[in-house]
Amino acid sequence: MHLHQVLTGAVNPGDCCYSVGSVNDIPFTAYGSGCDVVILASDFECVQIIPGAQNGNIQVGCVECSHQLGRIAASYGNTVCIFEPLLTNPNKRHKLNYQWQKTGQFFLDAITYNLAWDPQGTTAVSMFTHCYTKTTQIT
């Protein structure tokens, strides 16, 4: 089987449209596919698709996952949305028993080109030009 037959949709162009994170030491991958954010377990099984219709049908520009808390930051133009994992019923195929829900968003003055989390996963840093950044504390 070829990789394109396994993944749910093509990753948006650019180096910042996919990220690997973990929640409770369980790794996952998140990526932008068109206007959607796709979350995959470590075996590339699709765990969840967060539809872009919830965020104005704007193409996902960049995605960044935290390595401690499993948070996902995704940019939609000048808007950055934060998604956090909620524990769900156990799944026999993989250990990623979570569903992500939008818990916040913040707006910037320009389109975001890059996102990063601090090591604890509590602060998101967004870069929307090559010389200007904004730090946002996520509670």
pLDDT in tens, 92-139: 677 889 999 999 998 888 888 888 888 777 777 766 555 555 566 665
**Pick the residue with more confidence: 75 or 122?**
75
Q: Got the DSSP string for 45-109?
A: -EEEEE-GGGGTTPPEEEEEE-SSB--EEEEETTEEEEEEEEE-S--SS-S--EEEEEEEEEE-S
Is it true that domain 3-137 has CATH number 2.130.10.10?
Answer: yes
pLDDT of residue 1: 44
Residue 2 has pLDDT above 50, yes or no: no
| Cα distance between residue 43 and residue 26, in whole Å | 11
Question: Tens digit of pLDDT for each residue in 3-30?
Answer: 444 456 789 998 899 999 999 999 999 9
pLDDT of residue 122: 75
Q: What is the pTM of this model?
A: 0.83
Residue 63 has pLDDT above 90, yes or no: yes
- Residue 39 DSSP symbol: E
Residue 69's pLDDT band (boundaries 50, 70, 90)? very high
Question: Tens digit of pLDDT for each residue in 77-87?
Answer: 989 999 999 99
The domains of the chain are located at 3-137
